[in-house]
Amino acid sequence: MTFFTHEFEATLSRHPIGKGERVVTYSVVYLPPDMAADLPFDKHPRLRVDAEIADIPFNGAWQPAGDGRSYLMVPKAVFTEAGAAIGDVVDVRFQLADQDAVDVPEILRHALKADAEAQEKWDALTAGTKRGFAYRVASAKLPKTIDKRVKEVMSMIREGRRYGKGGRIV
């Protein structure tokens, strides 16, 4: 029995996101419409999954493409390791992941534990908002930047602010 509950073949494609001069393209696969009909997109428009392409595992989310389709971003390391390129047909397998899971960096977890007010407000946030804060900290590389972002995130949590579209603070 396989770990994955869904399997299909897809073409590695480029998907543009943004408008005007701010368009960025991502490497993606598109979900077959017949599979999309059986998934809980009504409850989770960005459906988190554990996936693999050509036996290379990764995590991601099926996201709305804006034209009725859903796409899954494929990290460059995945298709590079698979020896695939844009335009190639690849085997895609996935299963639904815990939609409320949040990978909290240890340094942020410790900061929250030390601040009861922030921890209480954190506990009331949606999983998506928590993931945004966690990503902000986890994406920092240098210790100085990590410390700066932990302080920024903790302040935002205490003040009830969050990141909006384009990473703007709202």
CA–CA separation, 82 vs 105, rounded Å?
Answer: 29
Tell me, what's the pLDDT at 170?
A: 59
Look over the chain and give the mean of its residue pLDDT values, rounded to a whole number.
91
**pLDDT over 90 at 73, yes or no:** yes
Kind and range of the H or E element at 152? helix 143-159
User: What confidence category does residue 168 fall into, taking pLDDT thresholds of 50, 70 and 90?
Assistant: low
Q: How much is the average pLDDT of 23-48? A: 93
